[in-house]
Structure 1
Amino acid sequence: MSERPWHRPLAVSNAPTDCLDILMMRKKGGAVLKRFAPRRLARLLALMMALTPLATDAYLPAIPDIARYLGTEASAAANSMSLYLLGFACGQVIFGPISDRIGRRPVAIGGIIVFFLSSLALAFSSSLMMFCSLRFVEALGGGACSVNAAAVVRDRFSGRESARMMSTMTMILLLAPLGAPSLGALLNNYAGGWQAIFLFLAIYALVALTLVSRKLPETAVLSGHAEGLATIARRYGRVLGHRAALGYIIAVACSYAGIFSFLSASSYLCINYYKVPEWIYGLMFTGNIILVLGANRLNLSLLKHHSPHDILKVGMMLQLGFGVMALLTVALRLDAAWTLMPLVIIFSSMNGLITANAISSMLDYFPSMSATATAALGCIQFSSGGIGSFIVNAFGDYGPWPLVIMLTSVGVISNVMFRLLSEAHARTTSREGLAEKPHAELEDSSLRT
């Protein structure tokens, strides 16, 4: 069986190629795009994807001040985070198929413009309703950018090279949550209050808009015909009905359910339950980001000798192992901040071996509609994170038990479902000889599996 090339030449496209054409939506004749250095492309896509982690993390220290300014409770202002995650998921679902239809560049640029305008308006919010509504709109723009970044990678790379690009982008992207809370606190305390945070987000979006409109190549192969809602629904049905792809989606969803459960419960457990000083909790949070960076760096090294599929399996088994260890630590009454939290942090860091490999493996089944597939995965991924966070918070009075049960449960679910879906599908297609077919044929044949 001949091995598929990891690099593919950029496609010929009739998408708009300059900013004026983007805004006027005029189509030019096709032109062969120049090769774009992978590291430069990774930096550009990470710059675009960083809009969301900056928007979610930078304003956290200012939530009490936002609540006082808007005349509401801090918990009500904090609910804007849930609205942002909802808007982010909706943005991916809406703009994924549009990106497959009209191209990556116009949707990415449009998403950044939406993010810029809503961030600017957020600085002048005068009521909680206005603030939450604008956060939802801001998230729609962030979702459009995120779904396009992953689609560009799939258009340009496949297999191990795609997973390498995803890991490189993640490593760059993690710099945003690493410094965003501190930056938000500085802007809130010394630069004019919480409004300065959203003015900073608007300026960042303007810089991203300038670079993306000048540097981002069009990588999609456009069909040139309009698609109705029924066609879009069938596209999502093809993604969610593909057994192997569904296994990869569940792997990412379970990992994010565990991560968001940890993030939502960590502050209460460390500071209120285990009485850890706030500055030590901050160091723990920083240590978590550093470990995730290390896991992504390890993933890059492992991809030189192993497939994304195999590394993903190891990452899921390690997550399950650390989830079980955390559960036993609480069950044996050995739990303390110094015994439990390191296990939970390592569980979270194993996402560096899971998400990039799962996304690249899943997208290989959908070369002609990678943005739609990314949108389906992203919606389920962040919805699962929100559900996990909600469940753990709903049972917060039970100390660490909800968190460790959640981590163990998602570890079991991801491993079992991955083997029942993705592994079983791989064995079936291998026996039927489908592994030697081009991916375009494999995508169609998967509908009959």
Structure 2
Amino acid sequence: MKSSDSIDLSNEQRKLPLAFLLPLLASIIAVSPLAIDMYLPAMPILAEQFNTEIPSVQNSLSVYLLGYALGLLFFGPLSDKFSRRKLVIVGLTGFALASFCLPFVSSINQFIGVRFIQAFISSAATVVVPGTIRERYGKNTAKGFSYVSMIMMLAPMVAPTMGSVLLLNSWQTIFFVLAGYSVIVLLLAMVYLPDVEHQLSSANISFIQRYKIVFAHKKARFDLITSMVVSLAFFAFITSISFVYIKVYQVSEFTFSMLFAINVLGLMTAHFINTRLVVRKGSRTMLSYGLIQALFAATCLVFVNYWQLPLVYTVISLLLLMPSLSMIAVNADALILLEFPQESGTATAVIGVLRFGIGSLAGPILAYFYDGSALPFAMLMWCAMLVVLLSQLMNKLTKEVNE
């Protein structure tokens, strides 16, 4: 049963140009990529600062993802009932305060705790973005996602480089800059972000009922699995890439930031290709294209690391793999949200909880199989792609049986 909530869109939102709305939405959702990527070059320094091992610092990323997932779980249904603009203000304000507190922590446990709070509250701002895109793009939601993602990718592309430069001063500067960025976006959102109020009809849908609607929807299940497992692979990359490049291949922090930027450019290219083709080909077909390339690239990555080939082969394998993961994820998410026109916030929360919940396992999994090489990372990426393949095959088989 679908919610009968009616959405009262103001004239201001109807007239707001997409050319302005999309960059604003991208700036809001970029707070998490910046919080994740900007401090990657500082991980070895943080380990020394707090007198701990690299895996402990890597786990701070996993805790961030867990906090973000739990925040989505809480704020997702609220975005289907209350003012989205107010949620954005709450989320960005909390993120700014937590970012300002991080430079003053004195232990790894305090650092991890504040990161959890930072992630949890920031989700209030980002959870409203997919629903807003869906309302503006309708059946072409994947195109809107790709445009926002393409703009947003500027954040992870420049974040490690910015982090490396800011490290010349201190690691604390990274989080002061994050606080400043979120304050600027907060001010822009307060002035320019259109508001959307959800007026409940007599058929009130409760917090729990909204989740039941999403989880009971059979058509979305295998795409949810796909989105979830792709995220495990993606966050395995985020968690491990500084170790792989800096420790395994002995590159400098600056070279690492350049290599990371190359991958982000690949992601942006994938999103651009998706905006050009998805309207004609459809999200399901584009997802399949991405999966074929991902399976090939992940297999190459395993062999490259098993045979311990030079750095260039790892760079090429990842340059093929990461854009294909992005192609899979953006189309899977669009296919999911198209099934939930009245529960887009709750569906976004489910996607996020599954995505960042399993993403939080990347650090512990890689720490458990840690052997000083990049092979465990490559194997995790390959296994994730096999699970995605299986889920999509099951999705196709289920549709054929139902027909």
Structure 1 and Structure 2 fold alike (TM over 0.5): yes
Partner SS, residue 371 of structure 2: helix
User: Corresponding residue for 1:98?
Assistant: 78
2:334 aligned to which of 345, 355, 360: 360
2:210 aligned to which of 226, 235, 240: 235
- In the TM superposition, residue 373 of structure 1 has moved relative to its aligned partner by 0.4
Residues 303-323 of structure 1, C-alpha deviation per residue, up to 9 Å, x if partnerless? Answer: 242111211111112211222
Greater shift, 218-227 or 236-245, is seen at: 218-227
**Does the C-alpha gap of structure 1 residues 68 and 266 become closer, same or farther in structure 2, counting only changes over 3 Å?**
closer
Matches within 5 A, 1:265-280: 265-276=240-251, 279-280=254-255
User: Corresponding residue for 1:434?
Assistant: none
1:222 aligned to which of 192, 199, 203: 199
User: Corresponding residue for 2:89?
Assistant: 109
Matches within 5 A, 1:34-183: 34-63=14-43, 65-66=45-46, 71-73=50-52, 75=54, 76-160=56-140, 162-183=141-162
1:12 aligned to which of 8, 21, 30: 8
User: Corresponding residue for 2:175?
Assistant: 198
- In the TM superposition, residue 295 of structure 1 has moved relative to its aligned partner by 0.9
Residues 257-301 of structure 1, C-alpha deviation per residue, up to 9 Å, x if partnerless? Answer: 222223333333444444555554443222111111111111111
**Does the C-alpha gap of structure 1 residues 419 and 169 become closer, same or farther in structure 2, counting only changes over 3 Å?**
same
Partner SS, residue 12 of structure 1: strand
* Separation (CA, whole Å) in 2 of partners of 1:130 and 1:334: 38
Partner SS, residue 123 of structure 1: helix
User: Corresponding residue for 2:228?
Assistant: 253
Residues 160-186 of structure 1, C-alpha deviation per residue, up to 9 Å, x if partnerless? Answer: 2x1111111111111111111222333
Contact 2:35 2:178 in 1 (8 A): yes
- In the TM superposition, residue 197 of structure 1 has moved relative to its aligned partner by 2.4
Contact 2:61 2:363 in 1 (8 A): no
Contact 1:158 1:360 in 2 (8 A): no
Partner SS, residue 367 of structure 1: coil
- In the TM superposition, residue 223 of structure 1 has moved relative to its aligned partner by 1.4
Contact 2:28 2:125 in 1 (8 A): yes
**Does the C-alpha gap of structure 1 residues 102 and 247 become closer, same or farther in structure 2, counting only changes over 3 Å?**
same
* Separation (CA, whole Å) in 2 of partners of 1:321 and 1:97: 38
1:397 paired with 2:371, answer: yes
AA in 1 matched with 2:287: L
- In the TM superposition, residue 63 of structure 1 has moved relative to its aligned partner by 4.2
* Separation (CA, whole Å) in 1 of partners of 2:287 and 2:14: 32
* Separation (CA, whole Å) in 1 of partners of 2:249 and 2:41: 21
Greater shift, 338-347 or 261-270, is seen at: 261-270
Partner SS, residue 101 of structure 1: coil
User: Corresponding residue for 2:309?
Assistant: 335
User: Aligned residues, how many?
Assistant: 397
* Separation (CA, whole Å) in 1 of partners of 2:313 and 2:264: 19
Partner SS, residue 112 of structure 2: helix
2:346 aligned to which of 351, 372, 376: 372
* Separation (CA, whole Å) in 2 of partners of 1:201 and 1:226: 42
Contact 1:167 1:299 in 2 (8 A): yes
Structure 1 unaligned residues grouped into runs of 5+: 1-9, 14-29, 432-449
Partner SS, residue 221 of structure 1: strand
* Separation (CA, whole Å) in 2 of partners of 1:352 and 1:239: 23
* Separation (CA, whole Å) in 2 of partners of 1:91 and 1:143: 5
Greater shift, 232-241 or 60-69, is seen at: 60-69
1:187 aligned to which of 166, 183, 189: 166
Contact 1:90 1:379 in 2 (8 A): yes
AA in 2 matched with 1:79: N
Contact 1:243 1:425 in 2 (8 A): no
**Does the C-alpha gap of structure 1 residues 184 and 148 become closer, same or farther in structure 2, counting only changes over 3 Å?**
same
1:314 paired with 2:302, answer: no
TM-score, scaled to structure 1: 0.80
**Does the C-alpha gap of structure 1 residues 224 and 214 become closer, same or farther in structure 2, counting only changes over 3 Å?**
farther
- In the TM superposition, residue 353 of structure 1 has moved relative to its aligned partner by 1.4
Contact 1:271 1:277 in 2 (8 A): yes
User: Corresponding residue for 1:4?
Assistant: none
Structure having greater relative contact order (Cα 8 Å, sep ≥ 6): 2
**Does the C-alpha gap of structure 1 residues 226 and 55 become closer, same or farther in structure 2, counting only changes over 3 Å?**
farther
* Separation (CA, whole Å) in 1 of partners of 2:26 and 2:356: 18
Contact 1:47 1:208 in 2 (8 A): yes
**Does the C-alpha gap of structure 1 residues 122 and 281 become closer, same or farther in structure 2, counting only changes over 3 Å?**
closer
* Separation (CA, whole Å) in 1 of partners of 2:106 and 2:254: 33
Partner SS, residue 366 of structure 1: coil
Higher-Rg structure is 1
- In the TM superposition, residue 115 of structure 1 has moved relative to its aligned partner by 1.0
Residues 163-212 of structure 1, C-alpha deviation per residue, up to 9 Å, x if partnerless? Answer: 1111111111111111112223333423xx33332222222111111111
Work out the percentage of aligned pairs sharing the same amino acid.
28
Residues 52-96 of structure 1, C-alpha deviation per residue, up to 9 Å, x if partnerless? Answer: 111122233344555566x54254454332221111111111100
* Separation (CA, whole Å) in 1 of partners of 2:134 and 2:246: 42
